[in-house]
Amino acid sequence: MTDKYADVDSVMSSARKGFAITPHDTTEIALTPKAVWVGGAGNLVVRLEDDSSDITISGIAAGTLLPIRPKLIKTTSTATLIIGLY
């Protein structure tokens, strides 16, 4: 099947790849994702791509797709099965 959008990619286009994210307090995510999938309910403590402060996103249900671009996901997060999509 031909994909007429094969050469088009932007932050607004659908993700084509994914990777597991292991929370860490100082090591930034190697590749900033377009979005984050949360497989297990909880909260995320994140530092977004253009920010210098952490925020807590609370009450995330299992199976939630968050349209955020974090550079850090902290170990104080309680959500699990975190996937970066790009």
pLDDT of residue 10: 75
Predicted pLDDT of residue 57: 98
What is the percent of the chain where pLDDT is above 70?
91
Q: What would the mean pLDDT of 50-77 be, rounded to a whole number?
A: 98
Read off φ and ψ for residue 78, nearest 5 degrees.
-105, -10
- The pLDDT tens digits for 22-41 are 999 999 999 999 999 999 99
- What's the whole-number average pLDDT of the chain? 93
